[in-house]
Amino acid sequence: WNATVGAQSRDQGRQVLAFLPNEAWIHAGDSITWILATDEPHTVTFLIANQIRNPFSVGCPGYSSSPTSFDGSTCVSSPPLAPGQTFTVSFPATGNFKISCLFHENMSGTIHVLDLSQPLPHDQTFYDNQAKADGKAMLSDMKDHSHDQSVSTGNGVTAGLGEVVATGGGTHTLSIMRFMQRKVTIHAGDTLEWT
């Protein structure tokens, strides 16, 4: 199985912080390879039940080499991924496993690992199409507000907007990482506040 980590606009100012798709059903023994599609770093991390989430610099603690295996008994985490890098995890045991990114708290998903006797609801083509559609929808969301002059008042500049979206599989975030006003005019001696 294949999946994508993140999506971005051409100018990199709009970042989708998401596992695409963020929910998948596979069989025990299958593996998934995630590829990083952005310049924003991410991790592919599976924590064990009740484990405290560490900072990205700590990992599980530590990082796993790819390919690795996750059965819910020991945490696995990719190191911070660079654009185009992949991380492969095999799933030998059935269960519902939460995937997260140690860089971004609101970036999660779920992998449902079924017994071989159970039919899978979707195939790779479905997940590819879902990932593309979700990434495109997130990138186009909030476009009407990306240069909205009303987001600040007076001598203020807003640097970025964002939203967190919850789904059945987890959460993902759209971050608009730029100054929201194209132009701000002030007078000599005025103070400008950045938020």
pLDDT digits (tens), the chain, 195 positions: 999 999 998 888 888 999 999 999 999 999 999 999 999 999 999 999 899 899 999 999 999 999 999 999 999 999 999 999 999 999 999 999 999 999 999 999 999 999 999 999 999 999 999 999 999 988 887 655 444 444 445 666 666 667 778 888 888 877 776 665 667 778 898 887 766
Whether residue 26 contacts residue 70, with contact meaning beta carbons closer than 8 Å, is answered with no
Q: Dig out the tokens for 32 from the structure.
A: 């998934």
Instruction: Give the integer Cα–Cα distance in Å for 153 and 63.
Output: 45
The whole-number pLDDT of residue 148 equals 45
Instruction: Give the integer Cα–Cα distance in Å for 19 and 72.
Output: 19
Of 101, 106, 95, 53, nearest in space to 73 by CA: 95
